[in-house]
Amino acid sequence: MAPKKLKYWFDKDLAVLLSDKIQAHCKSFNAKDFIKAVANGTKNLELKDRVEFIADQLQANLPTDYTQALDILLMTLGPENENETGMFSEYYWVMPIAKYVEEYGLNHFPESISAIKEITKRNTGEYCIRPFIDKYPDKTLAVMKAWSHDPNVH
């Protein structure tokens, strides 16, 4: 049997996983609506569109204050990935969180840059950091230079 394509990992099962993680830190999160929206809305989408759809559903179901919502999402991340591998096999579920930062965090530089660092320790921030490089090139590149000396290999 062929392994499940990556795009199919971003479906109802992922919505359930994210809901469980979020509800541990935000009891008011409407898991039922989130799961239903993701289950119905991702069926005919490709990978990047699925990730973006889930990020948009996070925005729709988390507190409207970006920093408050981001704090909740960061609490879901759990331990850092200590291995060279596993970013996509074990921490794939972080991708919608990164997309959330990319889409909704551009006007919150300090909080978002800190979140991207945490995301990178588990998955990748290579896409979500791009709008920050465009809008804040000097500040972002200075932060990235400092990150290059971080003890975390990611």
Percentage of the chain modeled with pLDDT above 70: 95
At residue 116's C-alpha, the angle toward residues 142 and 130, to 5°, is: 65
Give the pLDDT of residue 89: 67
Residue count (the chain): 154
Q: Are 89 and 47 in contact (CB under 8 A)?
A: no
Give the pLDDT of residue 81: 85
Tokens 């005919």, located at residue? 44
Give the pLDDT of residue 91: 86
Task: Calculate mean pLDDT across residues 28-35.
Answer: 96
Tell me, letter by letter, the H, E, C secondary structure of 52-97.
HHHHHHHHHHCCCCHHHHHHHHHHCCCCCCCCCCCCCCCCHHHHHH
Task: Calculate mean pLDDT across residues 66-95.
Answer: 87
Q: Are 129 and 118 in contact (CB under 8 A)?
A: no
Percentage of the chain modeled with pLDDT above 90: 82
Phi/psi of residue 33, each to 5°? -65, -40
How many secondary structure helices (H) and strands (E) does the chain include?
8, 0
Q: Are 72 and 63 in contact (CB under 8 A)?
A: yes
